[in-house]
Amino acid sequence: MTVNPNLVGRAFPPVGPYLVGREKVREFARAVFATNPIFTDSAAARAEGFADVVAPPTFPVVIQEHTLNQLLSEPDANIDFSRVVHGDQRFQYSRPVVAGDELTATLEVTSVKTLGAHAMVTSESVMTDATGAHVVTAISTLVVRGEE
Amino acid sequence: MPLGLSVGDSIDTTTVHLDRVSLVRYAGASGDFNPIHFRDDVAASVGLPGVLAHGMLTMGFAVQPLMNYLGARGRLADYGVRFTRPIVVDSESGADVTIETKVGAVMDDAIRFDLTVTFNGETVLGKAQAQVVFD
């Protein structure tokens, strides 16, 4: 079973809006050893000009996860989740995510490559705020290991 | 020249100690409950050398020394990594992961910081780069 190469260019229905909660940001900040107070203390974040606590740089992965689940459960994708390994990850930011943001994410598959028995699937989750302005794009490459 | 930095300057070296609680905490915070990150039996059954840290946990903490250094100076515009080697987190001794943050490139209004993240003397992330803009 190989990954369907016709996935390239496929866009999925928007996910969200996802409301970024202050306590979720704090929980995530603790989990990634974020110690700058802008990530946990609303007053410290406001003093630096942010509306509320700032989400650590990799926080959008929480929302990306919801969009990738759309891809993994696509009936004709032929992606065996038990064989999936995270190959690389990138975020391109227009601004930091802050608590109170309502983010909508739209996934598009941008590349499917095969390398020997393995397949590499790259997709982009474009996240916009309640005004429609771009906030961050999360780009992920999943490696689907071939059968031995 | 932003922040008065030059290519090759090392701005920070930090060691993060991971234990199994760190992995469970990240699983809950991120929603990634793949059992290879907290169950030895499942990790062994799929041929892994032990319970592994989430790659996204490593990416998440690797940029924190830079966040502390920058404060409100500059804005992170781009952050990317390649996951090249796993971090095995022993149930008793955990895992110590070291992050060195260096200046990779200096532009008029931006700096690229290169992160070298090592565990047991080997790098675990490839091409770990964070671009900070000063606008």
Tokens 């793949």 sit at which residue? Answer: B34
Select the more confidently predicted residue: A84 or B92.
B92
Whether residues A32 and B57 touch (CB distance < 8 A) is answered with yes
pLDDT tens per residue across span A51-91: 999 999 999 999 999 999 999 888 888 888 778 889 999 99
Q: Is the pLDDT of residue A110 over 60?
A: yes
A118 bridge partner residues: A115
**Contact between B57 and B117 (Cβ < 8 Å):** no
Q: Does A120 touch chain B (CB under 8 A)?
A: no
b (16+ CB within 10 A) / e for A66-79: ebbebbeeeeebeb
Contacts of B82 in chain A (CB under 8 A): 87-88
Q: Using CA atoms, how far apart are residues B61 and A58, in angstroms rounded to an integer?
A: 9
This prediction has a pTM of 0.95
Indicate if the pLDDT at residue B2 is higher than 80: no
Closest Cβ–Cβ partner in B22, B25, B80 for A90: B80
Which amino acid type is present at position B135?
A: D
Q: Is the confidence at residue A24, as pLDDT, over 90?
A: yes
> Which two structure tokens, joined as six digits, stand for B124?
């675990």
CA B98 to centroid of chain Cα atoms: 9
Q: What are phi and psi of B43, to 5 degrees?
A: -60, -45
Cα maximum dimension of chain B: 53
Of the two residues A1 and A122, the one the predictor is more confident about is: A122
* B93-113: average pLDDT: 97
Asked if A18 is an interface residue toward chain B (Cβ–Cβ < 8 A), one would say no
Q: For position A85, what pLDDT does the model report?
A: 86
- Going by C-alpha positions, the residue among B61, B47, B46 that lies closest to residue B119 is B61
- pLDDT value at position B131? 98
Q: What angle do CA B21, A65, B19 make, to 5 degrees?
A: 15
Q: Residue A1: pLDDT above 70?
A: no
* Length, in residues, of chain A: 148
Q: Quick one: closest CA in A to B132, which residue?
A: A93
Work out the minimum CA distance from B124 to partner chain A, whole angstroms: 12
Tell me what pLDDT residue B1 has: 61
